[in-house]
Amino acid sequence: MEHVISGVAKFQKEVFPGKKATFKKLATGQNPEVLFITCADSRIDPNLVTQTEPGDLFICRNAGNIVPPHSNQTGGMTASIEYAVAALGVRHIVICGHTDCGAMKGALAPEKLGALPHVREWLGHCRCATEVLREKHGELGEQHLDELIRENVLQQIQHLRTHPAVAAKLATKQVQLHGWVYDIAKGNVHCYDPVSETFIEMQEAYAEQKLAAG
């Protein structure tokens, strides 16, 4: 904890003065372009990976980068998504999974989560992803972890579409959905390409987009 407290002091003395104008502007409001939904894993730093500044990303984090399907029961994710889309007017929503995800390991073996009943219940929102893999492979094991991480991103995007605020903006082409997987060891980001129906390296994906745009 000591290094965290000293970090605050360093921020106040060394970092804040150089960004004073930015923080003065942010003090009275925000206008993020992107809603970034990712895992609560301590190894993931959205601003570091995307090299963005305060105010650029509206970030939501939870175990497994999960988006519960819309229901009449209000939850933190539901309210945050509604606020980001309907009030802040974000233009892009990214769901970013990551390698070595502990939540996905739990989804592969829920029987091992007996001492973590709330975690087990939360990971029920990943059932679509595990059922897709089970249909393909039968019994699942650790060898399916990377595939589950990718499939979970796709299924959470499907859940996103059930939220009224998101559905409305999608219908009027005011928001775009993106599926990413961040490789912790390599620093790579793979994004889902709907044309090839696979995850490809981001640089390759954007090169293809520019080529298609002419």
Counting beta carbons within 10 angstroms of the beta carbon of residue 135, is it exposed (0 to 12), middle (13 to 18) or buried (19 or more)? exposed
Q: Which residue ranges make up the annotated binding site for Zn(2+)?
A: 39, 41, 98, 101
Ordered DSSP codes for 79-146: HHHHIIIIIS--SEEEEEEETT-HHHHHHH-GGG-TT-HHHHHHGGGGHHHHHHHHHHHSS--GGGHH
- How far apart CA 97 and CA 49 sit, in angstroms, is 13
Question: Binding-site residues, please?
Answer: 39, 41, 98, 101
